[in-house]
Amino acid sequence: MRGAAMRVLVGGGTGFVGTALTQLLRSRGHRVTHVSRRGGRNRISWEELSRSGLPVCDAVVNLAGQNVLNPLRRWSDSFCREIISSRVDTTRTLAKAIAAAEHPPRAWVLVTGVGYYRPSPIAEYTEESPGGNFDFFSRLVSSWEDAALIYGSPTRGVVVRSGVVLGRGGGAISQMIWPFRLGLGGPLGSGLQPFPWIHIRDLCGIVCHALEKENVRGILNGVSPTSSGTSNGAFARELAAALGRPALLPVPAWAVRAVFGEERAVMLLKGQKVLPKRTLESGYRFLFPELAAALRDIVA
Domains and CATH numbers, the chain: 7-299 (3.40.50.720)
Torsion angle of alpha carbons 16, 20, 26, 32, nearest 10°?
Answer: -20
Indicate if the pLDDT at residue 105 is higher than 70.
Answer: yes
Considering only CA atoms, which of 244, 293, 126 is closest in space to residue 196?
Answer: 126
- At 258 the pLDDT is 87
* C-alpha to C-alpha distance for 135 and 169, rounded to whole angstroms: 30
Residues 38-58: pLDDT tens digits? 877 889 999 999 999 999 999
Residues 232-268: pLDDT tens digits? 999 999 999 999 998 888 889 988 888 888 888 888 8
Confidence band (pLDDT; 50, 70, 90) for 292?
very high
* C-alpha to C-alpha distance for 131 and 180, rounded to whole angstroms: 34
- At 25 the pLDDT is 98
Indicate if the pLDDT at residue 202 is higher than 90.
Answer: yes
Asked if 232 and 239 touch (Cβ cutoff 8 Å), the reply is no
Q: Are strands 156-162 and 164-166 parallel, antiparallel or unpaired?
A: unpaired
Residues 153-188: pLDDT tens digits? 999 999 999 999 999 988 888 888 888 888 888 999
Considering only CA atoms, which of 237, 130, 243, 149 is closest in space to residue 191?
Answer: 237
- At 31 the pLDDT is 97
pTM here?
0.95
- At 71 the pLDDT is 73
Round the average pLDDT of the chain to a whole number and report it: 93
Confidence band (pLDDT; 50, 70, 90) for 198?
very high
- At 1 the pLDDT is 44
- At 2 the pLDDT is 62
Average the pLDDT over 112-116 and give the result. Answer: 96
Indicate if the pLDDT at residue 116 is higher than 90.
Answer: yes
Residues 55-93: pLDDT tens digits? 999 999 999 998 888 777 888 889 999 999 999 999 999
- CA 165 vs CA 128, 161, 204: distances in Å: 22, 11, 10
Confidence band (pLDDT; 50, 70, 90) for 206?
very high
